[in-house]
Structure 1
Amino acid sequence: MSKTITEYVINCPTCIRMKASRRRPQGLLQPLPVPSIPWSDIAMDFIVELPKSATYDTIMVVVDRFTKMAHFIPLVGLPTAAETASVFIREVFRLHGLPSTITTDRGTQFTARFWRAFCKGLHITQALTSAYHPQANGQTERTNGILEQYLRCYISYLQHDWSSYLPLAEFNYNNQVQRSTTMTPFFINSGYHPSMLPGSPLETNVPKADERLSNIHRNYRLVRAELLKAQRRFKFYADRHRRPAPVYHVGDKVWLSSANVKLSCPSRKLGPCFLGPFFIEKVLSPVVVKLRLPPTLRIHPVFHVSLLKAVTPDPFPSRVLTTPGPVSTVADDEYEVELILDSRWHRRNLEYLIRWKGYGAEDDSWVSYREVR
């Protein structure tokens, strides 16, 4: 009797949809393909909403996945797609040439039509993370965490001087031996170790210069110790909170976590924890699948397995089921037309030049009349 009751409760569809999961997320680490040469495969991300420091409030982080070398670029505000392209040309291309692949999250800068056309024109492959799983861009996520920890420890109480520490942070980060390569990014990239600060600052008889040199040496020692500590801490915690995921196949049914989905229900707190079940349409990797979603669920259909829960066969087919209400979302990935600027006939097809709501003129694009509704 006890076993029957347990099975009945475990397979209750209402309980599955409404109760939050307390287990560790599914999906062991699946590394991205290893690049073969430096700066052929890079990852990009932003650290945003920082306190103003010399007009800057955003940091663009660029990491080479082969050498692990990073660039920390201060910016004024979160850039548009066109501004991101300009920063890329100025800070990455001029130093390292064009990469073959850029891994990013699904921020508007990287999903904008301008950025897609920019990458396509330069023969750069876009590698976007799966929906609501920024860990897929783990290289920059880890680097962001290490950089943020460094800034927290050494900026002033008013937090207005962090931009002055970025050059030291970048130099120290790139001069640390990486556990994955057993070498420093500087050495892998250039074949030599850069000149270091002398063991102790020499007195120059210029008090202001002596003070500046002393501060640089002190900060260098502190930064090195803090970066090493941060690397150990991130590895420890990342390895603790994972469990293997089921082996999914095309046609399997799964529940989808609603944690990151903007539901249109009146109260989020009383809404379902899981949606579905939905069929798996395609298995993209051991930890990423594409779901067959209804038209009302207007979100990107590719998900990490940590957001899924397998549907188990119900041993009680005679169970009376309550039909869940219709699921609809607030659109996340849709483009909304703001203005039709022009029209033309192109290859026997009527096209409109569209200004997209929330995007600038750089993202204006020609679209078939069939796609405008």
Structure 2
Amino acid sequence: MERDVKRFVDACPTCAQNKPSNQPPAGLLQPLLVPKRPWSHIALDFVTGLPTSHGLSPFQCCLGYQPPVFPAQEEDVGVPSAQAFIRRCRRTWKRTRSTLLRVQARVKVQADRHRSKAPHYVQGQRVWLSTRDLPLKVVSPKLNPRFIGPYPISKVLGGSSEAPLPPPLRRIHPTFHVSRIKPFVCRPICLAPKPPPPVWSICNLLSNV
């Protein structure tokens, strides 16, 4: 009995569109690859003012030494030869990369505690699309369904999926993270909801009397 009720609720379109989920967001954290040397990869991050977690400034990570602040410190950063400069840079890059890998692994473990593994999606599979952050024109946001669709997946891109949207949402980029979609379940045990009855005006009712 419990299994049948769960199967019915999972396939119920009304429940799928309006029932909130008590599960963590889908999609585990996928960190970027840590480069082996400076300027081999360029990324943009809008988060600023973060302290360095490895004790090295960006200048030292690139050149292998801290910039001299006083004239007396210039002798400490003097480069006797190009080979010595390269060895110092490589030692700094290796230290920086190992520290970034440790921090990255620690952050992933902490982030995945509040996430769940995403279902496996394939091209052509139908999914429900979350209405969160969608500019839907509704009378009241409280009456807005939590999910709309279902829409077929046209392409799977790593942790994201592309789905063709209806004309009112054509201005939105059709790529969505796995946390913004959920599988569409269709089973014979759950019948499709019937369309609502037509709305009759007073004139139509009087004309049919």
Task: Please state which band the TM-score falls in when normalised by the shorter chain.
Answer: 0.5 to 0.7
Residue 27 of structure 2 corresponds to 27
Q: Choose from 280, 297, 301 the match for 2:153.
A: 280
CA distance in 2, matches of 1:31, 1:38: 18
Shift of 1:34: 4.3
Q: Does 1:177 align with 2:54?
A: yes
Does the residue aligned with 2:5 lie in a helix, a strand or coil?
helix
Alignment of 1:215-254 (within 5 A): 235=107, 237-254=110-127
Per-residue CA shift, 1:191-242, capped at 9, x if unaligned? 1134589xxxxxxxxxxxxxxxxxxxxxxxxxxxxxxxxx89x937524211
CA distance in 2, matches of 1:8, 1:27: 25
CA distance in 1, matches of 2:184, 2:3: 19
Residue 42 of structure 1 corresponds to 43
Higher RCO (Cα < 8 Å, 6 or more apart): 2
Structure 1 residues 294 and 2 mapped into 2: Cα distance closer, same or farther (>3 Å)? same
Structure 1 residue ranges (4+ consecutive) displaced by more than 4 angstroms after TM superposition: 33-37, 194-197
Alignment of 1:1-373 (within 5 A): 1-35=1-35, 37-39=37-39, 40-45=41-46, 140=47, 144=48, 147=49, 173-174=51-52, 176-177=53-54, 185-194=58-67, 235=107, 237-285=110-158, 287-298=159-170, 299-316=172-189, 319-323=191-195
- Cα RMSD (Å): 3.0
Does the residue aligned with 1:277 lie in a helix, a strand or coil?
strand
Does the residue aligned with 1:296 lie in a helix, a strand or coil?
helix
Per-residue CA shift, 1:52-80, capped at 9, x if unaligned? xxxxxxxxxxxxxxxxxxxxxxxxxxxxx
Shift of 1:312: 2.2
Q: Do the aligned partners of 2:10 and 2:185 also contact (CA within 8 Å) in 1?
A: no
CA distance in 2, matches of 1:194, 1:279: 56
CA distance in 2, matches of 1:42, 1:4: 49
Q: Name the one with the larger strand percent.
A: 1
CA distance in 1, matches of 2:110, 2:69: 32
Residue 356 of structure 1 corresponds to none
CA distance in 1, matches of 2:69, 2:119: 50
Does the residue aligned with 1:29 lie in a helix, a strand or coil?
coil
Does the residue aligned with 2:16 lie in a helix, a strand or coil?
helix
TM-score (norm 1): 0.38
Per-residue CA shift, 1:283-335, capped at 9, x if unaligned? 111x1111121222231100110111111232425x141459xxxxxxxxxxx
Does the residue aligned with 1:275 lie in a helix, a strand or coil?
strand
Long gaps (5+) in structure 1: 46-139, 148-168, 198-230, 325-373
Structure 1 residues 2 and 42 mapped into 2: Cα distance closer, same or farther (>3 Å)? closer
Shift of 1:260: 0.8
CA distance in 2, matches of 1:323, 1:185: 62
Q: Do the aligned partners of 2:13 and 2:192 also contact (CA within 8 Å) in 1?
A: no
Shift of 1:35: 4.2
Q: Do the aligned partners of 1:280 and 1:292 also contact (CA within 8 Å) in 2?
A: yes
TM-score (norm 2): 0.65
Shift of 1:19: 1.5
User: Which one-letter code corresponds to 2:155 in the other structure?
Assistant: K
Shift of 1:2: 3.3
CA distance in 1, matches of 2:113, 2:69: 36
Per-residue CA shift, 1:153-180, capped at 9, x if unaligned? xxxxxxxxxxxxxxxx7xxx35x407xx
Aligned length: 160
Shift of 1:243: 1.1
Long gaps (5+) in structure 2: 71-102, 197-209
